[in-house]
């Protein structure tokens, strides 16, 4: 019997739903955006009302089978930065390495700038991903 291989977009979608459920259980109203992964929009939006204020999170979700860097093209980074400013939101890159239990939740401002092939990227290095491992737990405890 042959085993069908899951498509990368299905794996990513499942991770987005998993993170949305974690945020929902922590008191956020969290939604996966339609057509996430296409264009410049974030994958998830999460909102929570606490201490008389709304907290808005825009989250780009990435999954990896191993620990390697993640690149976000500069145009997408700039668009999401402008969107966050307009909405008064905080921007995060959420990384799920398959086989790991914890998520790495990295503030966008912690991403390094790299130029390659004449293009600019914002990069989460292997070290950055490991440094922010458990970042989701810290966010949810606030």
Query: For residue 36, what are its two tokens?
Result: 């996430």
Query: Torsion over CA of 5, 9, 12 and 18, rounded to 10 degrees?
Result: -80
Query: For residue 104, what are its two tokens?
Result: 């790495």
DSSP H helices, 52-111, are: 74-87
Start-to-end CA distance of the chain, whole Å, equals 48
What is the pLDDT, as a whole number, of residue 36? Answer: 57
Over residues 19-48, the pLDDT tens digits come to 999 999 989 999 998 765 567 789 999 999
Task: Provide the whole-model pTM.
Answer: 0.86
What's the DSSP call for residue 133? B
What is the pLDDT, as a whole number, of residue 2? Answer: 54
Over residues 46-81, the pLDDT tens digits come to 999 988 899 999 999 999 888 888 999 999 999 999
Residue 13: count of CB within 10 angstroms of its CB: 17
């Amino acid at each position: 019997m042959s085993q069908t291989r899951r498509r990368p977009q299905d794996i990513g979608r499942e991770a987005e739903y998993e993170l949305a459920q974690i945020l929902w259980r922590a008191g956020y109203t969290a939604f996966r955006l339609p057509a996430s992964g296409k264009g410049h929009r974030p994958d998830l939006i999460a909102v929570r009302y606490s201490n008389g204020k709304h907290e808005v999170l825009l989250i780009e979700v990435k999954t990896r089978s191993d620990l390697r860097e993640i690149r976000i093209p500069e145009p997408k980074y700039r668009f999401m930065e402008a969107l966050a400013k307009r909405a008064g939101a905080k921007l995060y890159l959420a990384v799920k390495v398959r086989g790991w239990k914890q998520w790495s939740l990295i503030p966008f401002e912690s991403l390094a700038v790299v130029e390659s092939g004449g293009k600019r990227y914002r990069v989460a290095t292997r070290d950055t991903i490991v440094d922010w491992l458990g970042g989701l737990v810290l966010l949810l405890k606030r």
